[in-house]
Structure 1
Amino acid sequence: MAPRWITFIALLWELQWCVCREVTLPAGPLYRVAGFSLSLPCAVSGYEGPRTQEFEWYLYRDDAGGRQIAVVSTRDAGFPYAPFQGRVQAGEVRVERDSGDKARLIIQRLRADDQGRYECYTPSTDTRFLGNYSSSVEVKVIPDTLLITHSRILSGQPVSEGTELQLTCAASVQSHQHTHVSVTFGVRSSGGAESQGHNLREIIAIDRELRVTPGHSGGYGKRYRDGEIAVEKRKGDGARDLYVMKVNALAPEDSGSYFCEAVQWIRDPDGKWERIAQRTMELGNLTVQPLVDTLSVRSVPDGDVSLQPGAPLSLTCQVTGVGAWNRSALLVQWMRRGPTGGVEVEVSRVGPDGVVTWGDDVSRAGGGSMEKEADGKFSLRLFSVHPTDAGLYRCAVSVYAGRLAPGPSSPATITQRSEWVTVSLKTDDVRVSASVDLPRRPLLRRGSTITMLCNVSVETSASSQVEVQWLQKPEEPARKDVTFSEDATAQLLATLSYDGLTRIYSNASDLSVDRVSATSYRLRIFSAREEDQGHYQCQVEVWSQDPRGGWYNTGARAESETVHLYLYARVADLLLIPLVVGVSSALFVGVLIIATVTCCFMKRLARQRSRIRK
């Protein structure tokens, strides 16, 4: 048992002696640039005493023959020697604590004579002197050769949303050491000098390993992935490298003061990259005007336009305030709604690809065109207007700022509409009436030909024709509060158009429609069947001829009263029932007689057989 205790005590004694003070600095040599800051972290471990340790820094210059120069101390304000006393009092040279046992020497602006070996010493707080109480590192001060220039400065003049921006910076460095350069483009939002630090945004950069990295704020990551912002490195004159940033389409939030920052990097012996020099070049101020403030859409002529039927209609959509016309795509639409309001429908459009499409069959039927006459000028022409073309017109313009070929689902940057233009037509008064006649002599029977007449009366001073439609509602109780044309069960049978064209629609019977006189139109149903029974009505629309010879629908229409068609059975159908009843009765009586006679005969024969047996 005793040897085990002796072994345990020996281990504790050995561990106690292994725990000793250790002061560490980064591995050297460290290369830093004159005029920029030096930060040397120093840490102490394995110590005894309070958690807050004291630090003292010394410099051994290469040209001082190993003479020690006190730099700065955490515990003694009078510690610095003369070369550093003024700089320490000014705060240019100081010690900053990271924790109680970690501190760093800060020299804000290195000088050439700051080169040498720096020692970090920690006064002992231990009960015995054990370990190392200082550590040193070599610092080399190299000259500042980082240069940055620009190709142009922003003028400060406002530009329109969607405008392209291209900025170029040239950076170079001459160093015997292996260093890298990174370049960052950024912007400070407008808001006063006191808030510049908070509003600074990095747009895009080429880092020290030549990787492109977009900024983390302002949506620059998404804009970079969408191809809206880019940066590239090019070879310039001499040893200069050119860094070019391009923003395809400026947005209002891109307003601000632009800058270009170049940073020189070096890899220390411990493998970490350190920033050793930095230059910032101001590139000027930029104000991006939102399209909502500059875009203007106007219809010409404005106000009211009054035309005769058949006259041409010409409307022009004028667009201004878009900026450079070769930078943004436009979608221009002409819209219309009825004279008294109602649903707004698209008449025609010209898309960003320049393709014209018509969305309104009525306008297209009359003949028309839509074209781009010049930048910002789009015309709509209807060659021959008709009453159905009357209404309110306006153009709607959608701008895709900075995009010449937007996708089908791409949202527009802004959509703006012009004021309404009222287009009215001077038409003659037209009065029309219609009545339907169903002759009932001789008696209407199934299988016969049914004839109905639609008698039309038109009062107008212009040349006119009528279009007649025949409708049927099957036999069923009719609702008093619903007109025949609004009834969903009504079926369109046939149409005779104003130009004499006949259209026969679905029906089980053979039909024909024709014009028998100037005011009378006929519907004939051949071999009428039971399903042809029901209520019939004719509807009439008046078409007039314009001065150009074209026909148009005047909008005047009339509906006749309904007539009821009932079909009686044919004579052959009436004789069929008595014939069936008679034959059935005769067969029944015959079978009954035969059965009776047979039954009596069999009984008589049975009686005769019984007598013979006796």
Structure 2
Amino acid sequence: MFPGEARVQTEAQAGPLYRVLGAPLAISCNVSGFRDEASVKHFSFYINKPANPGLDINIISTNDRGFGFAIYQQRVRSGEIFITRVSPNSVIFEIQSLQRGDEGDYDCSVENSEYTYDGSYSVKTAVKVIDDSLSVSSPASTSLSFNEGEALTLTCQASSNTIQHTHLSFAWYLQRDGEDDARPIISLDRDFTLRPGRGFEARYQAGLVRLDKLGEATYRLKVSQLELSDQGKIHCQAQEWIQDPDRSWYPIATKDAEKITLEVKPDALSLAVRILAQHTALQEGQELLLSCSVDTSNLEGSFFSVAFLREGVELARIGPTGVLSVGPEYSGRENQGELRAARTGSRDYRLILRPVRTEDQGEYKCRVWPEERGLDGVFTQGASQDSSSQLVSISATGDRLRLACEVEGVKGRLTVAWQYKSSSTPAALFTNVIGLSQEGVIEETEEFRSRGVRATRPAANVFVFELDEVKLSDSGVYQCAVSEWNTNSKVHSQSQAAAVTVTP
């Protein structure tokens, strides 16, 4: 200890702490410097209210049950206001539900058990009680019914009109039938990072579960292929976070929209189409493999005809006895060995196109007809049922450009602008290609909108730029320009450039 430095130091959370009406409040307080560190110290809490700035009102003490003034005694007795001891030298003061009159300066004082005074034995923390302005609502019906394999799309509105600088996090939850607790399907944290919930990771990676933020306050959930296990109650939840003076983030409000009862009925004829390539974005010359599986648990012993279609045009059909017929547009490619289709199991069918061409891209689906065989051996075809669509993109042979930009020392909200200038005009200014706003909304320029350009934020401090099918004219300098914002004011900007050369 330096000469003249106070020996005893009492510390509490720095204020002001903004907390919502009806929400809990917790203030930590600890003391150091007593000669006997192991002895239990006694703490008392007072409040100095704005209406009576010179009056300290007793609230609660660890050493005296009757310490509090009458206006706080009942709340202390009921357990709404209490002190939790963390260590001999540290406590946490808590109020379970803030009232309007709880706004003020809270004084944490420690009893001096020594014969002399040497230091600080009390400390104040300002608390501001603000209105709860968080609102969450979903316009969907309170009861929905789907067949297995169908797509579910829900939207939710979440916003806050507080004047404080706050962030929102958002999540969709599912409470499955037979389970006590709801589990997250997918969430967007306060730094705009997407995270699939436990049990939904594989479907998220396959693109079957999505969460999109549309504008300032709309969040859209899309589940492309519902499963029987998705049945239950589904709802959206938003949390509002504020940054305290110590730079930590604190959730000041949490609200749920009304729960929606979701029924998922087993489909007598349930189809699933999946691309068994590494990506659904292929290049010319690669192989496209489509598998169509027919779930016929309620139709054992039935026969089927299965057709593969692209953009509504039939490529090939496998009849009830396994005979293959090919549409006129693809008969030549079958003769050349480029198209093959067959039944690979009792209810599994497969189509292979190799090598693929750019004209093979589009939406693929399976179409299935139940076939009933009469006593004379003739088949009668029933009503058809389609699977969900699978979009396949096929590009001319070319590389994909991928750039990553990592940011350090983040304190406020960030925006990013990916910019470009051609290597043929080095003196030119950078032009915007694509960007992400403070709210995570994508901002595209018209020139690159049709080029397969993407801007993502896989982590809070990482931005990624991708451009499909690069051309020779894409050579140049690409720049990641990141800006940090405090509310609506830009406080800092920095950029990093990288030269890219595209060769034939």
2:204 equivalent in structure 1: 224
- Alignment-derived partner of residue 97 in structure 1: 85
Please say if residues 330 and 400 of structure 1, whose CA atoms lie closer than 8 Å, have aligned partners that are also in contact. Answer: no
Given the two structures, how large is their TM-score scaled by the length of structure 2?
0.56
Measured after TM superposition, the shift of residue 75 of structure 1 is: 2.5
Task: After superposition, give the CA deviation of every residue in 1:107-164 in whole Å (9 maximum; x if it has no partner).
Answer: 111111111000111112345322211111111111111111111134153x222221
Paired amino acid for 2:46: Y
Richer in helix (by share): 1
| Residue matched to 1:61 | 49
Matched with 2:490 is none
Tell me the residue number matched to 1:612: none
Within the candidate set 129, 132, 141, 1:153 is matched to: 141
Change (3 A) 1:299 1:84: closer
Q: 1:109 aligns with which of 97, 104, 119?
A: 97
Mapping of 1:169-248 within 5 angstroms?
169-191=156-178, 195-196=180-181, 200-215=182-197, 217-218=198-199, 220-235=200-215, 241-248=217-224
Cα deviation code 1:327-347 (max 9, x no counterpart): xx99985576xxxxxxxxx54
What displacement does 1:275 show?
A: 0.9
For 1:253, the equivalent position in structure 2 comes to 229
Number of the residue aligned with 2:22: 35
8 Å contact from structure 2 (residues 137, 258) kept in 1: no
Partner SS state of residue 71, structure 2: helix
Cα pair 1:249 1:403 within 8 Å, conserved: no
**1:317 offset after TM fit, Å?**
2.6
Report if aligned partners of 1:92, 1:108 keep a CA contact under 8 Å in 2: yes
Cα 1:227/1:39, change in 2 over 3 Å: same
Mapped partners of 1:172, 1:63: distance in 2? 32
Equivalenced residues, count: 328
* Cα separation, 1, equivalents of 2:115 and 2:316: 85
CA-CA distance at 1:254 after TM superposition: 2.0
Give aligned-pair identity as a percent.
Answer: 31
Matched residue, 2:257: 281
SS in structure 1 opposite 2:75? Answer: helix
Cα 1:210–1:16, aligned 2, differ >3 Å: closer, same or farther? same
- Alignment check: 8 A CA contact 2:368 2:386 kept: no
The answer to whether the 8 Å contact 1:180/1:266 transfers is: yes
| Equivalent position SS for 1:86 | helix
- Aligned mates of 1:278, 1:153 — CA distance in 2: 22
Q: Secondary structure, in 3 states, of the residue corresponding to 2:162?
A: coil
Preserved CA contact (<8 Å) 1:32 1:276:
yes
Separation (CA, whole Å) in 1 of partners of 2:203 and 2:239: 24
- Matched letter for residue 369 of structure 2: K
Shift of 1:233: 1.7
Structure 2 counterpart of 1:450: none
From the superposition, tell whether residues 76 and 153 of structure 1 become closer, same or farther in structure 2 (CA, over 3 Å): farther
Classify 1:44/1:190 alpha carbon distance in 2 versus 1 (closer, same or farther; 3 Å): farther
> What is the distance in 2 between the residues matched to 1:298 and 1:139?
64
Q: CA deviation at 1:300?
A: 12
Aligned-residue Cα RMSD (Å) equals 4.3
Distance 1:210 1:347 in 2: 52
State the distance in 2 between where 1:209 and 1:299 align: 49
> Structure 1 residues 297 and 256, CA, compared in 2 at 3 Å: closer, same or farther?
closer
Residue 147 of structure 2 corresponds to residue 165 of structure 1: no
C-alpha distance in 1 between matches for 2:234 and 2:315: 30
Mapped to 2, the partners of 1:172 and 1:52 lie a distance apart of 46
* Structure whose alpha-carbon radius of gyration is higher: 1
Q: Residue 142 of structure 1 corresponds to which residue in structure 2?
A: 130
CA deviations over 1:490-541 (Å, ceiling 9, x no partner)? xxxxxxxxxxxxxxxxxxxxxxxxxxxxxxxxxxxxxxxxxxxxxxxxxxxx
Residue pair 1:205, 1:213 contacting (<8 A) in 2 also: yes
Q: What's the CA shift string for 1:408-461, capped at 9, x where partnerless?
A: xxxxxxxxxxxxxxxxxxxxxxxxxxxxxxxxxxxxxxxxxxxxxxxxxxxxxx
Q: What letter matches 2:161 in structure 1?
A: Q
Partner of 1:268: 244
1:195-594 correspondence runs (5 A): 195-196=180-181, 200-215=182-197, 217-218=198-199, 220-235=200-215, 241-291=217-267, 296=296, 317=304, 346-348=322-324, 376-377=368-369, 402=388, 404=390
Tell me the equivalent position of 1:306: none
Distance 1:406 1:127, change over 3 A: farther
1:20 maps to 2:2:
no
Distance verdict in 2 for CA 1:252–1:379, change over 3 Å: closer
Instruction: Find the aligned partners of 2:229 and 2:330 in 1 and give their Cα distance.
Output: 30
User: How far apart are the structure 1 equivalents of 2:325 and 2:135?
Assistant: 54
CA distance 1:175–1:405, shift in 2 (3 Å): closer
Tell me what 2:58 maps to: 70
For residues 72 and 317 of structure 2, what CA distance do their matches in structure 1 show? 73
How far apart are the structure 2 equivalents of 1:162 and 1:96?
Answer: 52
2:268·2:298 contact (CA, 8 Å) conserved in 1? no
Alignment partners' CA distance in 1, 2:235 and 2:222: 14
Check the 8 A contact 2:367/2:386 in 1, yes or no. no
The 2-side partners of 1:36 and 1:354 are apart by 66
* AA in 2 matched with 1:222: A
Q: Quote how far apart the aligned CAs of 1:211 are.
A: 2.8
Cα distance in 2 between the residues matched to 1:269 and 1:167: 37
The 3 A distance-change label for structure 1 pair 297 and 60 is closer
The CA distance in 1 between the partners of 2:18 and 2:184, in whole Å, is 28
